[in-house]
Amino acid sequence: MSERVVLALGGNAILQPEQKGTYEEQKENIEKACNRIVELVKAGYQVIVTHGNGPQVGQILLQNELTQPEIPSMPLWVCTAESQGMIGSIMQEALKNEINRHQLDKNVSAVLSLTEVDANDPAFESPTKPVGAFYSKEEADKLAEEKGWVMMEDAGRGYRRAVASPKPKRILGLESVKTLLDNNTVVISAGGGGIPVVRDEQNNLQGISAVIDKDLSALELSKEVEADVLMILTDVSNVFINYGKENQQKLETISLAEAEKYYDDGHFSAGSMGPKMKAAIDFAKNGKKAIICSLEEAKEALTGKTGTTISGTI
């Protein structure tokens, strides 16, 4: 059977920081990404795509704020669902068109995904993830009083709402994803880390205001669909240690033990490469292969020609 690869695509690959976020811009970015993804499909890999949604959810939240009170605002988990549907539909269309162009015998399906988190996760006690619009100190204080929001200053640009970022427990509905994979389908799943839900005392699911780290959800997705490779796609070709210093060093193929040492030594920042390396290390512990590389070099990275590969094999 062909290798099963989970591709974790960052939200900024869909919407660049300097862009306004028009449909046309995002469609063009997604089409470029799908051209690379189909290279892997053409090479015979089973492909599951997951993606970030930070910029998109931020825009949806801002739309909520700007249209009040005329249009009722939606809770954060519904905004995540909106972004999943938007990105998933554009990506599904682009993948189908590219697959047809190459005359490949493949289906494509985007699956709306719920991700269960623990209602007692410590992250809910100290929200740290800024989302949505920027506010002045006075506006932030008013929102905290009226809506009970936790507000935090963000990079000196103003105050934003802070929400929890709990760890994913499981991605729901993955039996359907496995069935699709076994039936010749490229699957898009767990976009934006998934729509966060918790279970109540009656074991019923309900949405909760949180943002789930995309890389940690990609890790859970990879484990649960029994992927052979977890590939985290970034805007750089390799991971570096001593980044930005004179003794900066590019990492190519490294052992699990080496990766853990570099991580424990603090080479990777929490707001950038840290979560990616943590997910890659945890996946490699299963005796499998994790790769961090650029989108443009994904095919070459799978054959070890570029990228940073963490090998969990003995």
Is 129 tagged catalytic?
yes
User: Which of the following is catalytic: 11, 54, 191, 307?
Assistant: 11
Tell me the DSSP string of the chain. Answer: -PPEEEEEE-GGGTS-TTS---HHHHHHHHHHHHHHHHHHHHTT-EEEEEE--HHHHHHHHHHHHHTTTTSPPPPHHHHHHHHHHHHHHHHHHHHHHHHHHTT---EEEE---EEEE-TT-GGGGS--EEEEEEE-HHHHHHHHHHH--EEEE-TTS-EEEEEB-PPEEEETTHHHHHHHHHTTEEEE-SGGG-EEEEE-TTS-EEE-SB---HHHHHHHHHHHTT-SEEEEEESSSSEEESTTSTT-EEE-EEEHHHHHHHHHTT-S-TTTHHHHHHHHHHHHTTT-EEEEEEGGGHHHHHTTSSSEEEE---
Is 299 tagged catalytic?
no
Is 54 tagged catalytic?
no
Contacts of 136 (CB under 8 A, 6+ apart): 158, 159
User: Which of the following is catalytic: 53, 192, 276, 312?
Assistant: 276
Among 125, 119, 116, which Cα is nearest to 201's? 119
User: Which of the following is catalytic: 10, 52, 191, 214?
Assistant: 214
User: Which of the following is catalytic: 12, 96, 106, 169?
Assistant: 12
User: Which of the following is catalytic: 88, 129, 191, 194?
Assistant: 129
Q: Which residues are part of the catalytic machinery?
A: 11-12, 129, 214, 276
